[in-house]
Structure 1
Amino acid sequence: MKIGILYVGIGKYIRLWDKFYSSCESMFLPQYEKKYFIFTDYPLKSSTNVQVSFQEDLGWPQNVLFRYQMFLRHKEELKHFDYLFFFNGNTEFLQIITPEEFLPTEKEALTGLEWHTYRNKPLQKYHYERRKNSQAYIPYNSGEHYYQGGLIGGESKAYIELLEQCSLMTETDLKRNITARWHDESYLNKYLLDKQIKILSTEYGRPQEWTVPPTPKIIFRDKNTILGASYICSLKKRNRLKLISKAIRNILNKLLKR
């Protein structure tokens, strides 16, 4: 069985790669052959089971918003894998992950990670995209699960279809100057709406700073500690400045056309 792993390490996020790779190799389905596709602007060299694809730094949130398009550049090669999985850059595997607990059944096709904090909340409180003009729109009375964007995958055919549809939704919105509320995660939740998939609990994706569940199998390392809170903040600040600049240009263009 062949498994393809998709990983994005742009800018300082490349610092997270070594820990991800070593823990994934030893803990994630260790009995199967794995190949890693890493998208980065760092001069990393490809190796036996690591294929490096140069990806320029598009800034935040574009680096996550265009994730689906990045992966589709390797669509033909990805078709030859049995399973494909994307993991957040700050993922670390702490315990052995077996096929039985992680891989979807034929009927499910995909595996997703649920935010358990939403389980006891009314649907109206879910952070779905609520603007009707967005492709990611989900009505207030719809939905059941809220999925994290940091872990998603499954059978290669099903996952590639997910990439294609989420990419299409993203591009359609961008052409109309719409950015979904939680970027790639919003489109993911729209695509998975009402689909029967294998649902993982927070045991398979617990933020490092949380204490529940007490013995997670997979964690998301604290980026503020590793990369620096100021770095994370600066990424978002630069994007806000770009948005303000864009808004001003749009206003000026409208005024000039009058």
Structure 2
Amino acid sequence: MFKTNSCQEKNWSIGDLTMKPGVSYAQPSTQTGRTDVNSVTNWNVPLVWEGTFDPVVIDAIYQKMDPRVAVVVFAVGKYTRFLKGFMESGEKHFLVGFRVTYYIFTDNKDDVPKIEFGKGRGVSIIAVPSANRWQDVVLGRMKWATITIDKQIRNEADYLFMMDIDSVFHNRFGAESLSRLSAVLHRGYYKNTDRDKFPYERRPLSKAYIPAGAGDYYYTAAVWGGYLEDMYQLVKYCHEQSVEDSKNKIEAVWQEESHLNRYLLYNKPTKVLSPEYLWSDYDQKPADIKVIRISQLVKNYAEVRPNGGH
């Protein structure tokens, strides 16, 4: 099914949910399930929580397609210290049994640790320049990811995830996360009932501008993924909009996260992932979060970021 390099030619996402005969799994029910959370958006796509899918079924469907998955992470400066924990935990929990390549963008390839990868999994190192501000690292991610997807990753992957390196996987992060465009609810705002209190970019001069009274959810830019070509368009969009902002002497309040939220407001994601798919070690786990799949680490920002600050 994944015999071409163009994700645009793969129309199976619309209706091809085939699986091999003989897979044993629990009978689905029309009467039981999660009742404490909403599991569908108002544009009728899945909002994924633990208990809303059967991992045996979803993995069987996607493994039949045998996709190649790219994970793009940036480890610049002192952030290389997080590579070992991210990749080792990823080998235990991230799309286990699937073909995965970690694309490590770094200014010090000698700091990339040697770890043992599963079958069909590995690492590709891409050299990028150092930065003087952490904001420049964030903004530079979109530039270098756009260039590298265009030159290299497009020929090597069917799906792509952008992830923050200062994170560790704790539990299954599986095929239920795959779709044409999957966005993750920000843990700090997923219970917010007033869209005007989301930290969107509210200055009209910025290309990330979202007016008062508009908005769906607030998505994190620390984990997002989808089809290679759809992700390329989104990453390229964030880069180009940031460049336009720079020309106008403005920087979006949360850099590419602000542009991401603008894009996803008018180009709805085809799957929304609950905050299970990016929690934080800073926060207690509430009752509705049944499992933490990946979590951002507690760290001293002033020590690890080139210009300090949170």
Shift, 1:164, TM fit:
1.4
Amino acid corresponding to residue 82 of structure 1 in structure 2? D
**What is the CA–CA distance in structure 2 between the aligned matches of 1:112 and 1:128, rounded to whole Å?**
16
Residue equivalent to 1:251: none
Percent of matched pairs sharing the same residue: 29
Q: Residue 231 of structure 2 aligns with which residue?
A: 159
Equivalent position of 2:46 in the other structure: none
In the aligned structure 1, how far is the partner of 2:187 from the partner of 2:92?
Answer: 27
Corresponding position of 1:22: 88
Match of 2:292 in 1: 216
Tell me the distance in 2 between the aligned counterparts of 1:176 and 1:130. 15
Report the Cα distance in structure 1 between the residues aligned to 2:298 and 2:290, rounded to whole angstroms: 16
| Alignment partner, residue 76 of structure 1 | 151
Question: Take 1:46 and 1:39, find their aligned partners in 2: how far apart are those partners?
Answer: 13
Cα deviation per residue 1:172-193 (whole Å; 9 max; x = unaligned)?
Answer: 1111111000111111111111
Paired AA for residue 140 in structure 1: A
Partner of 1:93: 169
Query: For 1:186-235, what per-residue CA distance to the aligned partner results, in whole angstroms no more than 9, with x for missing partners?
Result: 111111113332111111111012112363111111122xxxx5315762
Partner of 1:66: 140
Long gaps (5+) in structure 1: 238-258
The answer as to whether partners of 2:195 and 2:217 remain within 8 angstroms in 1 is no
Whether contact under 8 Å (2:83, 2:113) holds in the other structure is no
Please say if residues 29 and 97 of structure 1, whose CA atoms lie closer than 8 Å, have aligned partners that are also in contact: yes
1:10 maps to 2:83: no
Task: Note the alpha carbon deviations across 1:144-182, whole angstroms, 9 max, x for none.
Answer: 110001001100010001011111101111111110001
Pick from 148, 170, 183: which aligns with 2:220?
A: 148
Moved more, 137-146 or 43-52: 43-52
Tell me how far 1:43 sits from its aligned partner. Answer: 3.0
How far off is 1:46 after superposition? Answer: 9.5
Question: Which TM-score applies when normalising by structure 1?
Answer: 0.83
Residue of structure 2 in register with 1:110 after alignment:
181
Gaps of 5+ in 2: 1-66, 115-120
SS at match of 1:63: helix
Cα RMSD (Å): 2.1
Tell me the SS of whatever aligns to 2:100: strand
Query: Number of residues paired by the alignment?
Result: 229
Further displaced range: 73-82 or 128-137? 73-82
Tell me the residue number matched to 1:189: 261
Contact 1:20–1:89 (CA under 8 A) maintained in structure 2: yes
Equivalent-residue separation in structure 2 for 1:49 and 1:230 (angstroms)? 32
Q: Report the Cα distance in structure 2 between the residues aligned to 1:41 and 1:117, rounded to whole angstroms.
A: 31
